[in-house]
Amino acid sequence: NAGVTQTPKFRILKIGQSMTLQCTQDMNHNYMYWYRQDPGMGLKLIYYSVGAGITDKGEVPNGYNVSRSTTEDFPLRLELAAPSQTSVYFCASSNSRTVYGYTFGSGTRLTVV
Amino acid sequence: AQTVTQSQPEMSVQEAETVTLSCTYDTSENNYYLFWYKQPPSRQMILVIRQEAYKQQNATENRFSVNFQKAAKSFSLKISDSQLGDTAMYFCAFMMGFRDDKIIFGKGTRLHILP
**Which tens digit of pLDDT belongs to each residue from B3-16?**
999 999 999 999 99
What is the pLDDT at residue B99? 58
Tell me if B101 sits within 8 A of A58, measured CB to CB. Answer: no
When pLDDT is averaged across residues B43-53 and rounded to a whole number, the result is 93
pLDDT value at A59 more than 70:
yes
Look at B33 and A99 and tell me if their CB atoms are within 8 Å: yes
pLDDT value at A2 more than 80:
no
Distances (CA, A) of B7 to A3, A33, B21, B40, B73: 32, 26, 9, 20, 14
In chain A, which residues touch B (CB < 8 A)?
Answer: 31, 33, 35, 40-45, 48, 50, 58, 88, 90, 92, 94, 96, 99-102, 104, 106-107, 109
Dihedral sign (CA A5, A56, A60, B91): negative
Confidence band (pLDDT; 50, 70, 90) for B91?
very high
Tell me if B57 sits within 8 A of B65, measured CB to CB. Answer: no
pLDDT value at A81 more than 70:
yes
Please tell me the distance from the alpha carbon of residue A78 to that of residue A62, in angstroms, as a whole number: 10
**Torsion angle of C-alpha atoms A107, B102, A50, A53, degrees rounded to 10:** -70
What is the pLDDT at residue A48? 94
Q: Which stretch of DSSP H or E encloses residue A33?
A: strand A31-37
pLDDT value at A64 more than 80:
yes
Residue of higher predicted confidence among B99 and A104: A104
Q: Which residues in chain B touch residue A104, judged by CB atoms under 8 angstroms apart?
A: 44-45
When pLDDT is averaged across residues B73-100 and rounded to a whole number, the result is 91
Q: Which of B37, B43, B107, B109 to mutate to test the interface with A (most CBs of A within 10 A)?
A: B43
When pLDDT is averaged across residues A50-68 and rounded to a whole number, the result is 94
Q: What percentage of chain B reaches a pLDDT higher than 90?
A: 78
Length of chain A: 113
Distances (CA, A) of B100 to A17, A28, A61, A90, B94: 34, 19, 18, 19, 11
pLDDT value at A89 more than 80:
yes
What is the pLDDT at residue A42? 87
Confidence band (pLDDT; 50, 70, 90) for A99?
low
Look at A31 and B103 and tell me if their CB atoms are within 8 Å: no
Lowest-confidence region among A17-31, B1-15, B98-112 = B98-112
Query: Which residue of B lies nearest to A104 if distances are taken between CA atoms?
Result: B45
Confidence band (pLDDT; 50, 70, 90) for B56?
confident
When pLDDT is averaged across residues B41-49 and rounded to a whole number, the result is 92
Tell me if A57 sits within 8 A of A36, measured CB to CB. Answer: no
Confidence band (pLDDT; 50, 70, 90) for B98?
low
Strand order in the sheet with A76-78: A4-7, A19-25, A76-78, A64-66
pLDDT value at B80 more than 90:
yes
In chain B, which residues touch A (CB < 8 A)?
Answer: 4, 9, 33, 35, 37, 42-45, 47, 50, 52, 91, 93, 95, 97-98, 101-108
Please tell me the distance from the alpha carbon of residue A86 to that of residue A66, in angstroms, as a whole number: 18
What is the pLDDT at residue A101? 78
